[in-house]
Each structure stands twice: as C-alpha cells, then as structure tokens.
Amino acid sequence: MERVGVYPGTFDPITLGHMDIIARGARLVDRLIIGVTTNIAKSPMFADPERIDMVKREVAALGVTNIEVVGFNSLLMDFADSQGASVVIRGIRGVTDFEYEYQLTGMNRQLNSRVETIFLMADVSLQPIASRLVKEIALYGGDISKFVTPTVCADVLAQIAKAGGSHG
C-alpha cells in the first residue's frame, strides 16, 4: 500500500526552511502532497494561485518525482482524507512551534485518529526562518536572499513594488 503524506502550509512565501522539510519529508513517504492553504489570520502577501504556482516552481527545481502541490481550503484532516494520506508532516523550528503544533495535533487526532503526525526539525541553519519575518524584512528593504531562493526573492520584491514599494 502506498504511503501518502501531506505537508500543509500557507507558504507565503515558501522559504529555504520549507524546502528543507519538503526534501526530507519526500524521503519518508511514497508520495508527498504539499497542501497550500489559506490562513486569513496571516495576512497573505500572495494570492492562493500565486502561492500554489510559486511552490510548484520551487518543488520542480528539487527534481524529486514523488511530490505533488495541491491547493486546499478545508480542515486539514478532511484534506488528508481526500488525498488518501496516512501521515501529516509538520516542520518545527523551536519550542514555540512545538507548543502550537502539539495542541493542533491533539485536535487533529480527535478529528481523525487514522492520520499520524510526524514532526521534522528544520536544519539548524534554517530554524530562525519564518515567512512572516521574511516578508517584514523585505518590506523594510532588508536582504532576504539568505532565507529564500533567488526566484522567490524576486517574487517578493516584485510583489512589494506592485503594492507601492518598501518602507526602507
């Protein structure tokens, strides 16, 4: 039986930390579905189709063949079921992430006990990276090239220019 995993996130924008978890997560399952979702509480910089396209482009550059990118706007456990997933992969940067993810995993287990959650620690060099901080640094004219790929850096800078420029 094929082992399907889901790695959900807003990926606004996708960072090198996300890419690390994707590459490592893809080795743990037969098929990895990257679920790009909307989280309106996070004030997305990019629209859903833009984020889906960005993730597809970045994942294609990895050259890994067992990864799919799918947009979704539902409960994670419903999405996991719809994809035939038995595993959800979550990236953890530190204690704050763990506390949030621990609570979320407990709720998800109540919704669907057939789906296991696997936590992967981001590579130590990538642990401080958060999409929210990448956007903030870019908005104030800072250099984000250490946190995202060159193409994502260009996407972020173009989005800021389209919205009226940086505050830097």
Catalytic center residues: 18, 42, 93, 131
- Do you know the residue count of the chain? 168
Q: C-alpha angle 130/121/32, rounded to 5°? A: 90
CA within 13 Å, CB half, 134 = 29
Residue with tokens 């621990």: 102
Q: CA–CA separation, 7 vs 43, rounded Å? A: 20
Tokens 């094929």 belong to: 2
Tell which residue, 73, 85, 150, 79, has the closest CA to residue 116: 85
